[in-house]
Amino acid sequence: MRTANTLNFDLHNHTNASDGTLSAQALVALAYKNGCDALALTDHDTVMNVASAQVAASDCGLKFIAGVEISVSWVAHGDIDSASKTIHVVGLNIDPTNKMLLDGLASVRGGRIARGREMSRLLVEAGVPDIFEEAFLLAENKDMLSRTHFARALVARGVVKDISAAFKRYLSEGNPGYIAHQWSSLPDAMRWIMAAGGVAVIAHPGRYRLDSVGLKTLFSEFKALGGQSIEVVTGSHSPDEYAPFASRCKEFGFYASRGADFHGYADTPVEPGQLPSLADVDSDLKPVWSLFH
């Protein structure tokens, strides 16, 4: 039976407006080729490529959902004395021209270049000769210079064998090239998404190394702020995480989302449209796209 939660909606993907490698047109062509029933573009902290992806999707008759993935520094219980944790909140079905959203995203983007300079300084201290220019060159949208561009530069220079090793050795928290950064607050990110008429989704909740108390706190605060959905089936979860997050999704009364978190052929294990359907994981999940009209 073909029910809503068997549909091949892929609602988390990147392009070269952030840390993906494909253009908007190439991403849309790939999603179309892979048989997606709908595609969302969710670049980090920018909607720069949304309009061109929308045109490309309409040209080939693919349903398109405008989105964004906002970087958030989350402090549990709003406790400013405790350390923040970086989490990602996806906004789906947003109006990409909403001024409050655009101003908010611009404020989150500021500071990435200075952060990049600091990252290369830390890498120099760790024995990697200055790599800023190489990373900067790889960022097609300079505002969105990201750790991913540093990872690609480290691979290109032969310092590490692949992206994953670059994060493991240098760029993830606790490693020599990592620098803490202040992103948006959770309440602000939620306000921007909702002001733009969007649905807020917690991206890849399995990635934050939160225990069950931490997850419960995050989900409760997110829900109290108007959050409606979490990603269950994502390229950023391992398959053994799908079922536990399906259970939590239902427990909290959230809608479930699904998306590859595709960044490019060399970087991401799964292309748009290739993940199991929500129904394959749990036939009782309510798909987030049932909220889109």
Stretch binding Mn ion (CB under 5 A), from 93-101, 170-178, 201-209, 280-288 = 201-209
Q: What, of Mn ion, ligand AMP, none, does residue 203 touch, CB below 5 to 8 Å by kind? A: Mn ion
Per-residue x/- track, 7-26, Mn ion (CB under 5 A): ------------x-------
* Using rule CB under 6 A, residue 172 touches ligand AMP: yes
Tokens 């029933």 correspond to what residue? 37
Helix intervals (H) in 175-211: 186-195
- In terms of CB distance, is 6 or 274 closer to ligand AMP? 274
Strand spans (E) along the chain: 9-10, 38-41, 63-74, 85-92, 199-202, 229-234, 255-259
Look at residue 257 and give its three-state secondary structure.
strand
Which residues, in sequence order, are bridge partners of residue 287?
256
Q: Which tokens belong to 11?
A: 């609602």
184 binds ligand AMP (CB under 6 A): no
- If binding means CB under 5 A, how many residues of this protein chain bind Mn ion? 5
105, 10, 85, 88: which is closest to 53 by C-alpha?
Answer: 10
> Cα separation of 43 and 90, whole Å?
9
Cβ proximity to ligand AMP, 155 vs 218, nearer residue: 155
Q: Which does 172 bind (CB under 5 to 8 A by kind): Mn ion, ligand AMP, none?
A: ligand AMP
x/- mask, ligand AMP, residues 191-230, rule CB under 6 A, reads ----------------------------------------
- Window 81 to 140, contacts with Mn ion (CB under 5 A): 88
